[in-house]
Amino acid sequence: MSAPTFSVVPEHVAIIMDGNGRWANARGLPRTMGHRKGVEAVRETVRAAGDIGIKYLTLFAFSSENWRRPETEVSDLLGLLKAFIRRDLAELHRQNVRIRVIGDRDNLRGDILPLLLEAEETTRSNTALTLVIAFNYGSRDEIARAFTSLAKDVEAGRLRPQDISPELVGARLDTAGIPDPDLIIRTSGEERLSNFLLWQAAYSEFMFMPEFWPDFSRDLFFAALEKYAARDRRFGGLSAKPAAAVGS
């Protein structure tokens, strides 16, 4: 299926994939079915992002707060992530997709960390779309870890406090080397970031969509990109677009 042409294509799109449970509840299905249907939406979105020429796609797969959910649901979520990597890694590799994982890697249990590391290592040299998986990720935790790293350098005499800059902080974040997201999409109608990319979202465009994540489709993604192309991004400066005539 051919992809449409947009006047502006964001380099980096980040998505908060929300609404799996509510999608299932609305259909009288167990929440696990919503998560499973959500994986299908992930596959379609990754393909669409590659087709349109997006360079970075970040997906909020599992937050550091998700561990508070019932153990059965946590196990199912982890199982789906592992199944996705095992099933799709070879195909993503063939498509020249690079996988990056952001989030706290300490104390990850079982075989999930080795699997994530394998996905990163296998695709390290790929040069098309970079698929960033936010796993065990919380932005406040990420920022705190970055400042802890900087504080250790100050304590060791390798860095002066007055030399700490936004650029130095950014270089210690999990997303070091990844451009800030141009567009952040959240599904399910909720309008908040929920501890996702707080530092990186300083000048991002936001789009809150009413559809639950399992219903997110290629067409909905392209519709969001079309709206993004019409946005006037000023980054704190003046508009680059000509002002509309009075009465127009």
* Residues noted as catalytic: 18, 66
Rounded CA gap, 79 and 82, in Å? 5
| Amino acid occupying residue 79 | G
Question: Which residues make beta-bridge pairs with 131?
Answer: 57, 99
Task: Burial-class residue 109 by CB neighbours within 10 Å (0-12, 13-18, 19+).
Answer: exposed
Angle at which helices 31-52 and 71-94 cross, to 10°: 20
Q: Where are the beta strands (DSSP E) in the chain?
A: 12-16, 56-63, 98-102, 130-137, 183-186, 205-208
| Amino acid occupying residue 98 | R
Question: Which residues make beta-bridge pairs with 186?
Answer: 16, 208
Instruction: Give, in degrees to the nearest 5, the angle at Cα 74 between 70 and 77.
Output: 140
Edge-to-edge strand ranges of the sheet holding 12-16 = 98-102, 130-137, 56-63, 12-16, 183-186, 205-208
Task: Name the token pair of 196.
Answer: 């996702």
